[in-house]
Chains A and B, each alone.
Chain A
Amino acid sequence: MSRSPMVPNSSNPGSLSRPEIVSDTYFDRVRRLGKEIYKWRRSYLFLTPFLIVFFMFVVLPVIQSMYYSLTYFNGLEPPRPAGLDNYKVLFLYDDVFPTAVKNTLVFAVIAGPGGYILSFLLAWVINLVRSRFRMWFALACYAPSIAGGAVALIIWGPLFSPDRYGYLNNILLRIGLINEPIPWTIDPKYVLATLIITQLWMSMGTGFLVFLAGFQSMPTEVYDAAKVDGVESKWQELWLVTIPMMKPQMLFSAVMSVIGAFSAVGLVASPMYAAHTITSHMSDYAFVRYELGYASAIAVFLFVVMVGVNRILFTIFSTKDQY
């Protein structure tokens, strides 16, 4: 209770230099906090709309699902308390859950950084394009993430179609690499890989835009200065100037792409659970079995994992040592 998490100290210009804390009685500290709050009361007023919305749509659902995770809840009847049973079953008895975790990790390790690097490179390349066309390239790269899953299915369906008429199979057959069409979406050996490729294509979302904005907001003087200092190629420019300057954007993108990768919706009941991610496990229980309590427990697990991963990312990309 030492300081309210809601006091946005760092974002408040007036509070950058806080006075040294000398007194240590508990009562003093509380009083000082009260004073401090009263002093900044107008700021709270401006914060309120955001806080209300944030609380209603982010904090409340998380709390709610934490509550449900401790109950038995089938969606129709009122939830019954169940203690830690859901977690017990999840970690000790559920055979499919380890598969889901494994798949999610594979997914996150490949699609997360993969999508991250891809969107960085694409943003960089597009930034080099003349500004008149840049917008169109940007749109082309951003479109997939707007389009969403249904469109992905339409676009990638024919490509990975398991018969001879699927584009990929057809090309491979034509080149002569294979003799029989490969059932990409049916054979457990390939389902996850297929899904990851699709996800990479779709992950060109917010991260990509942030990168692009970052590139464009880069002050040209820095590049001029770098040239004077002896930077010769675009690669050097990228490595020595751009990347160090873009740490905030890189952090944001990293967080987005990891969240994207972890929460990637696999396939519910994919062949042999080959593309069964934690999210699909969750929707399997929530919408097929209507065990919402158990699904909430999975969600909470996913939440905890993601918070943990984000902590790690913050340490990697932290901006402390900059400027």
Chain B
Amino acid sequence: MDYGSIVPSGLGVAEQVLESRCRGGIGMLVHQRRGGSCRVRNSPQATDMNPLRFLSVVLALCVLAIALSFAHMSVAADDETDLSTEIESDLNRRITYDVSVVFDEARYADQLERWRSEGHQEVRGVELVASGREALTSAEGQFEVRESFEGQEDVLLWTSSDGWAEWEFVIPQDGLYSLGLQFFPLEGKSTIGRPIERGFMIDGGYPFNEARRLVLYRQFRDIEYEDIGESRFYNMGDERRPGQEEIKEWQSVHFEDSYAADPDPMLVYLSKGNHTVRLIGGSEPVAISKVYVKSREDVRTYSDVKATCSSIPIYVGEDIEFEAEITSAKALPSLRREPSFDPEVQPFDPDVRLLNTFGGWNWRWGRQWAEWAFEVPEDGLYKIGIYCMQNTGTQLPSYRMIEIDGRVPFEELKRYRFDYSRKWVLNVLSDPDDNPYLFHLTKGTHTIRLTPVMGPLGPTLRAINDVILDMSDLYRKIIMITGINPDLNFEWDLEDSISELVPSLNAMSMRLMEHANFIEDTMGRRGSIGNSLAMISEQLSSMARRPDTIPARLNVLLENQHTLSQWIMDLRVGPLAIDRFVVGSPEAAWDQPRVSMLYKLWVSLKRFVLSFTKDYEQIGNVYEGEAAERRPVTIWVQRPREWVEIMKEMIDEDFTRNTGIRVNVNTMPSTMDVIGVIKLAAIGGKAPDAAFGIDYTFPVEMAIRNAAVDLTHMPGYDEVVQRFRPGALIPYRYGGGNYALPETQDFQMLFYRKDVLSELGLEVPDTWEDVYAMIPILRRYNMRFAGGAGDALAANAGGAVGFEVFLYKHGGTFYTDDNMRSALDSPEALAAFVEWTDLYTKYGVPIQANFYQHFRTGDMPIGLGNFAFYVTLSVAAPELSGRWGMAPIPGYRQEDGDVARWAPGGAGTRVAMIFNTSDKKEEAWELLKWWTSDEVQERYAHEVESNLGKESRWNTANVSALQTMPWTNEELAAILEQWRWMRDVPVVLGGYMTGRMLGFAWNQMVVQGGPSVTDELLGSIKRLFRGPYEQAANQVTNTARDTLEYAVKEINKELERKRVEFGILPQALGE
């Protein structure tokens, strides 16, 4: 049953044939060596596709291709036929939105334990090397073997990000081996230095889950402004962030887990004989010269190292200090200089923003190393101190692996601990008894590298993850019997129906308690996390003792899940800010950084006074007092300050440098009434030339009032709009003009819990008919479908979210072709309205519910959500990672077999526009063009995400930039499929009434038919006195037709009123 959507690309048909034929084979993995013509699939469901059905699919595709070219969609208004054009995509893997689960794969730690318990030992003294030439590669993907490349011989160039390459090794003896490779980063499509990602398989299978993601970091360094002859400071005194430059050189790396749960390279068990190591494409191209299979290097303990150094003299002399903000190399451009306003930091200036520290919250993810170079004057033993602070997040310590000159000097530095502190401290690298470690350094230059690694609580993290999943499984099983709000007067006898109830509760409780104790052992005290685990453990065991109390305590289970997943997030990260390093004599006495209270007070006072004079809304270089012709372009951006800062930096460093057009950027608070502000500014002659980040309904409102520039006639408009989905531009169109370009694009998707659906034997619905078939099954298990779409408040807010889907499904439109009248009085609209409201009245989709919470607990395992929902889910629900998926929203099958999923973008869309009052229209247009271009959007998306976290993902409206963002292939395919069907609602004069009236109509049909308190309280008594006729009469007055007709009347009234206001029809006011 291939219910997944097959992206019908014209060229793809032939490939489809081959692919499907191959499916008939052995299923899971069909692979062929070079020159083959078949693709890797892992769709077990595909195997039972019969030839007839297959033929029909091919036929359907052909029909579709013809149909598309003939554009016969009757739903079309003027140019809708081209709305669903194909999206050009590198993504040639077809995705089925299956619920088959990959998360049961063993984790590395468990797998390693299993191998060890089977008696396998780490091998000693083995090193097998294979060159790039020896690789066997897949058919897809681009490979090339070079005799010599960048100083290495026999290099395999892997210039695409897909396909695979395989090496064969003859293993001399059974045992545990580590793997490694030597690589050279190739210029990728990504302009922002995304790390190279691959996965690896041993003998055709992933040995453990972590093998799916192998990250090969590129190396970067700051370009000092002095070196390129520019000023390090903006003209207002703030320091500029340096540009980034990639260091291209060969790197040898081990295969390590990307989270750094274990600082050591990963081990793999290989028996004696032939084995293959295969690298699987992920992202970015790479050149590979060697692949290793070898035994892991030993790192000696400090006492061993110390013993060998006894003859080396102690260094006595001046301390060597170096600033941490000046790195010599680092893994990502986003690890960067950060400003600190603490007077303890060096250098410090209370008046301006100096970039005087390194790292902080940005520097929290495992393996993202940074390196510093320093010079020592003579041979000898030194001690090393780090001025640092870990004051972010919960009060857990952060850990770093410390390497000197590319090696970990001794075991203790593999996971060195930096405790939580609220102020800057000097951390002298020393043993647990505070005796400083001595380092033997020779005269000359050395490097010190700090790599974030996870603390020793990795096992706890895994345990918590397991417990959360068990807990939600159990919760779901319970509510399948009791419902979400159990009748407490009923005796449920849960332990009879769920046999594993008590054992499972006990097991979870024991596991948590075990780890509370483990924390106490490793960290010296339980701390908040240990106490929290112990408390939850206690609650679980009390539930196990009294299972009859469980229905009354269902909420406890939910709250505990929430608490635990919060700990997962906290345990995974280890932020650390560093001010400077000091290297010096072991005998030197170093002080903690101290600044007198008085000075601190003075600094805060000064900054307070400054806040009155300094204009914090202006960012970066500020151009003032210029003659009119040299006046800079002024833009207002309605985004948080951090976002605007990044934007301004990019404008200064790229746009202004290349075009000479200078730009002043101001922030605009998001709660501000934009029209009011811009009006006031216009009166004062300070109106901006353009505005960014504004609501998508705003440009047409401005255009109606003759205040927006029609972009259609700007040079290059036709090329620029190619960057967006045609259907996404509808809301900016008015009277034949186009008044804005979208920056971000909201979209609706179908979210589903893979684990729950597969447990219930359900499939991801492709059409609404599938949904209607699925809902009764969900209801049987006390679960519900989340219509998210019909949220009445959202509907009232102006978008009528959810109704569009049904309106387009039935072929209706919101307005007549001239946008003059509401078209909701059509039979199609009525049918859509009935289907929409039926979803709530007949299918029991909840009127309003916190989908996110219910999705996590699993009692709403499937439903519609938007981009913000995706972000929330992937950021705040770590325990669910890999257990949920995202598919295009359900649609309806067209005559040609394709599933049409027309849907609008959504209210999260933000746009940029130019104002009519501007005398810099061309320059502003240049800026708009530059800003929406592929490279700039990609870079901005990356900068924002890496600086502000995944929760700040930039949902760009630029189709090709979207594809460069770190989506998984499955997610990207789903989004692209949905974007094919993007069709926004036009913004018309008085159009807000449409959303409002639809909300009212929905309310009348869905809510008013619902229960009232008096009905509930006096229900039975009242019912005695109310005959069947009365009940029926009650229904009749609320027919869909009446309701909708009333809505249309009101909408038309408002549309006409507004038209009269703006003189579009010559009619007298109000008569």
Contacts and interface: CB of A to CB of B under 8 A. Distances in A.
Pairing of A with B:
yes
A288 interface: yes
Interface in B476-496: 484-485, 488-489
B1010 A164 contact: no
A147 interface: no
Contacts of B501: none
B1011 A162 contact: no
Interface string B1009-1034: 01111001100000000000000000
Interface in B238-272: none
A156 B225 CA distance: 53
A173 interface: yes
Interface string B782-798: 00000000001100110
B475 to A, nearest CB: 14
Given A85-B1069, A170-B485, A180 B1004 contact: no
Given A163-B846, A269-B796, A288-B992, A89 B1013 contact: no
Contacts of B1004: 272
Interface string B651-679: 00000000000000000000001011001
A271 B847 CA distance: 13
A203 B859 CA distance: 39
B1064 to A, nearest CB: 14
A23 interface: no
A273 B996 CA distance: 10
B792 A271 contact: yes
Interface stretch (B515-523, B537-545, B848-856): B848-856
Given A163-B850, A179-B1016, A188 B705 contact: no
B486 to A, nearest CB: 10
Given A269-B796, A272-B1004, A287-B673, A85 B1070 contact: yes
A269 B485 contact: no
A162 B848 contact: yes
B1003 A165 contact: no
A183 B999 contact: no
B376 interface: no
B1070 to A, nearest CB: 5
B682 interface: yes
A89 B853 CA distance: 47
B847 A186 contact: yes
Nearest to B1053: A95
Interface in B164-215: none
Contacts of B793: 185-186
B326 to A, nearest CB: 43
Contacts of B707: 76
Given A85-B1069, A271-B1000, A272-B1003, A186 B484 contact: no
A84 to B, nearest CB: 12
B88 to A, nearest CB: 40
A178 B1010 CA distance: 12
B850 A165 contact: yes
A173 B1070 contact: no
A77 interface: yes
Nearest to B853: A165
Interface string B267-282: 0000000000000000
Contact of B796 (A76, A164, A271): A271
B1008 interface: yes
A112 B484 CA distance: 40
A89 B702 CA distance: 25
Contacts of A173: 485
Contact of B682 (A76, A180, A287): A76
Interface in A85-118: 85, 88-89, 93
Interface residues of B, number: 43
A182 B1011 contact: yes
Contacts of B1000: 271-273
Contacts of B992: 288-289
A186 B848 contact: yes
Contact of A75 (B484, B489, B679, B1070): B679
A187 B1069 contact: no
B1070 A93 contact: yes
Contacts of B1012: 182, 187, 189
Contacts of A77: 705-706
Interface in A281-310: 287-291
Contacts of B796: 269-271
A320 interface: no
Interface size class of A (residues with CB under 8 A): 35 or more
B1061 A291 contact: yes
A163 B705 contact: no
Contacts of A179: 1011, 1016
Contacts, number: 105
A165 B1058 CA distance: 42
B847 A162 contact: yes
B848 A178 contact: no
Residue among A75, A183, A186 facing the most chain B CB atoms (10 A cut-off): A186
B1016 A178 contact: yes
Contacts of A3: none
Given A162-B848, A287-B673, A187 B1008 contact: yes
Residue among B484, B485, B707, B1069 facing the most chain A CB atoms (10 A cut-off): B485
B68 interface: no
Interface string B91-109: 0000000000000000000
A177 interface: yes
Contact of A186 (B489, B675, B792, B853): B792
B771 interface: no
A76 B1016 contact: no
B849 to A, nearest CB: 4
B1010 A187 contact: yes
Interface string B834-850: 00000000000011111
Nearest to B1050: A95
A18 interface: no
A85 to B, nearest CB: 6
Contacts of B1003: 186-188, 271-272
A226 B686 CA distance: 67
A74 interface: yes
B701 interface: yes
B122 to A, nearest CB: 52
Interface in A172-227: 173-174, 176-180, 182-183, 185-190
A182 B796 CA distance: 19
A287 to B, nearest CB: 6
A233 B966 CA distance: 74
A183 B1007 contact: yes
A218 B1013 CA distance: 45
Contacts of A287: 673, 675-676
A177 B1011 CA distance: 12
A272 B952 CA distance: 36
Nearest to B705: A76
A164 B1008 contact: no
B472 to A, nearest CB: 16
Contact of A177 (B679, B1016, B1070): B1016
Nearest to B1062: A74
A183 B485 contact: no
A186 B792 CA distance: 7
Contacts of B675: 75-76, 287, 290
5 contacts: A76-B702, A76-B705, A163-B849, A174-B485, A183-B792
Interface of B: 484-485, 488-489, 673, 675-676, 679, 682, 701-702, 705-707, 792-793, 796-797, 846-850, 853, 990, 992, 996, 999-1000, 1003-1004, 1007-1008, 1010-1013, 1016-1017, 1058, 1061, 1069-1070
Given A76-B682, A179-B1016, A272-B1000, 20 more contacts: A72-B1061, A75-B705, A76-B702, A76-B706, A77-B705, A85-B1070, A163-B847, A163-B849, A164-B484, A165-B853, A174-B485, A177-B1016, A187-B1012, A189-B1012, A270-B796, A271-B1007, A272-B1003, A289-B992, A289-B1058, A290-B701
The 5 A-B pairs with the shortest beta carbon distances in the complex, nearest first, are A178-B1016, A163-B849, A76-B705, A162-B848, A271-B1003
